[in-house]
Structure 1
Amino acid sequence: MNWRDLVLVVVSFAAGAQNALAGGGSFLTFPALLFAGLDPRAANITSTIALFPGQVTTGLAGRNLVMGAAGLGFGGLFGISLVGGALGAVLLLVTPPGVFARMVPFLVLFATIVFAWGSFVRRSTREGATARLGRRSAIIVQFMISIYGGYFGGGIGILMLAALTAAGVAVRHAGATKNVLAGVMNASAVAVFLTEARVAWDLVAYVAVAAIAGGLLGVFMLRRINETVLRAGVVAIGLALTIGLFITMP
C-alpha cells in the first residue's frame, strides 16, 4: 500500500463515520479521489460505488431506529428514494454536472439553516408537537433529494436530516432513517453506474472497506451521543461543508 492508498483509507474511514452521523461523506472521498488522479466525473461515480457497501452496513446496523415521516410509511420513503436515485444517476450520465455542482453549496447551506432552526430555535419535535412538513411536501422533498443523491450525492444526509426533523422525527431516528434511505437511492445509482466504464475499481476496494469500518463506528456513536450534542454536531458539519464548498466552487 503506497501513501496515496493510505490517505484514501484514512479519509474513507472518516467518510463512513460522517455518513452515519450526519451525511456528507462523499465530500471527503470525492476530493481524495481527485487527488488520486481521477477526473471529476470518474471521481464522483467511483465515490458513489465505493461508499455504497458502507451505507448498506450502516443502515442495517441502525435499522431498529428507522421510521416513516409526516404520515408517510417507511415503505413509501423507500420507493421514492429508489426511483429518484435512478433518475438522478441517469441525468448525471447524460448531462454536464457543472451547473448543478454550482448549486450544491447553496443547497447544503439551506439544509443546515433549516436543521439548526428546527433544532434550536423552534424546537417542536418533542412528543405531542405538530409536524411542520406535511405528507405531500415530504413526498416532493424526498423525491427531489433522491434525484440529487443519484446525480451528485454530496450533502444528502444533511438535506434528509433537515426534511425528516421538519416532519417531526426525532434526530436519532432521523439519522438512522436517512442512513437507510441514502443506501436505497445509491443502490439505484450504483446499478446505473455499473453500465459506465469510468470506474476506478482498483480504488473502490480501499474506500469501501474503510468506509464500512467508519460507518459502524458512526452508528455506535449515533446510539450513544447526547441528542443536543448530536444536533450541534450536525450543524457544525453542515457549516464546515458549506464553507468548504463555497471555497472550492468553480
Structure 2
Amino acid sequence: MALLVVAGAIAGAVNAIAGGGPILTLAGMMALGIDPRLANLTSTVALSPGQAAAGFMAWKTLRVRSSVAHHLGGSFVLSIVLAIAGGAVGALLLLSTDPAGFRKLVVWLVLLATAIYAWAGRGKATAGAGSVLSPWLYWPILAILAVYGGYFGGGNSFLVLALLAFSGLAGVEGGAAKNIIVAALNAGAVVIFVASGSTQWLLALPLAVGGLIGSVGGAHLLGRLRASQIRPIVIGSGLFLAAWLAIR
C-alpha cells in the first residue's frame, strides 16, 4: 500500500510539472507484479480525481469555451460529448482484450507513449501553430485520440494539446481546453471500468490518495522545477519499462 501511495504521488507530481505520470504509475504497479491490463485499468481510475479537478477548474474559464467554439466552428460541448463517448469505447476495447495479448501489445504502447512524450519536449513547437487544421479533420482526430485515451492513454495529453494547437488554440486557452477534454474522456473510461467490476479498489485507492498529494506538491514545485528536469526521468522510466517487458 505504501509503495502504491508513493507511485501515485510521483505520478501526480510529474503530471503537474511536466506530464507523463501514467508511464511511471504503470511501471510502479508492474514492478509489484500486477498484470499490465489490470495496472492500466486501475491507473486510469486512480488518477481520474486529479484530472477531473483540473478539468473542472478549466471549465470555469468561460473564455476557453467561447474561444474553442470560434476556432473549431462548433460548440465545445460537442467536443466533450465526443471525448466521453470515445473514452468509453476505448475502455470497452481494453476490457475485451485478452490479458496475454495486452501484455504483448503494452510494450509498443509504452514505447509510443514515451516517444510522444520525448517529441513534446523538443520545444513548444505547437505553441503558436495557428489554425492550420480544418475543423472537419478535428472531429475524427479527436474521436481517435479519445478511444486511444480510454484504451491506454499514455502520452494522450500531448496529442490532444497538439491537436488543439493546430486547430488554433494554443497557450493558456489550449492547455485549459486540453484539461477539460482529457478529463471528459477519462470520465467515459472510468464509468465503464467501474461498471464492469474489474477495478481493484485496494490498488486504486492508495494510488488515488498518492496522486492527489503529488498533484498538490507538484503545483507548489512548479515554480522551482522545470519540466526539462523531470523529462529525462519519465523518458528513462518508459524505456526501461519497455525493455523489461520485452525480455520477460
Using the size of structure 2 for normalisation, the TM-score is: 0.78
CA distance in 2, matches of 1:26, 1:7: 15
CA distance in 2, matches of 1:25, 1:216: 14
Q: Which segments of 5 or more consecutive residues in structure 1 lack a partner in the other structure?
A: none
Equivalent in 40, 57, 60 of residue 61 of structure 1: 57
- 1:50 partnered with 2:55: no
1:54-93 equivalences under 5 Å are 54-63=50-59, 64=61, 66-67=64-65, 68=68, 70-71=71-72, 72-93=74-95
Cα-to-partner distance string for 1:5-38 (whole Å, 9 max, x where unaligned):
3332222122123334554221121222223332
Q: Relative to structure 2, which stretch is displaced further, 51-60 or 211-220? A: 211-220
| Cross-structure match for 1:124 | 128
Report how far residue 140 of structure 1 moved.
1.7
Distance change (3 Å), C-alpha of 1:9 and 1:240:
same
CA distance in 2, matches of 1:244, 1:182: 26
| Cross-structure match for 2:112 | 106
| Cross-structure match for 1:208 | 208
CA distance in 1, matches of 2:57, 2:145: 23
Cα-to-partner distance string for 1:128-179 (whole Å, 9 max, x where unaligned):
xx41222122212211111011111111112212222222322333232222
Cα-to-partner distance string for 1:59-79 (whole Å, 9 max, x where unaligned):
223432744274144212201
Distance change (3 Å), C-alpha of 1:237 and 1:168:
farther
**RMSD of aligned Cα (Å):** 3.2
SS state at 2:33 partner: coil
CA distance in 2, matches of 1:142, 1:204: 28
SS state at 1:29 partner: helix
CA distance in 1, matches of 2:231, 2:140: 24
| Cross-structure match for 1:167 | 167
Equivalent in 10, 19, 22 of residue 6 of structure 2: 10
Q: Does the aligned pair in 1 maintain the 2:46–2:204 contact within 8 Å?
A: yes
- 1:30 partnered with 2:26: yes
What amino acid maps onto 1:172 in structure 2? V
| Cross-structure match for 1:95 | 97
Q: Relative to structure 2, which stretch is displaced further, 70-79 or 239-248? A: 239-248
Q: Does the aligned pair in 1 maintain the 2:37–2:103 contact within 8 Å?
A: no
Using the size of structure 1 for normalisation, the TM-score is: 0.77
Aligned residues: 236
Distance change (3 Å), C-alpha of 1:22 and 1:181:
farther
Q: Which segments of 5 or more consecutive residues in structure 2 lack a partner in the other structure?
A: none
CA distance in 2, matches of 1:170, 1:237: 26
Q: Relative to structure 2, which stretch is displaced further, 54-63 or 100-109? A: 100-109
SS state at 1:119 partner: coil
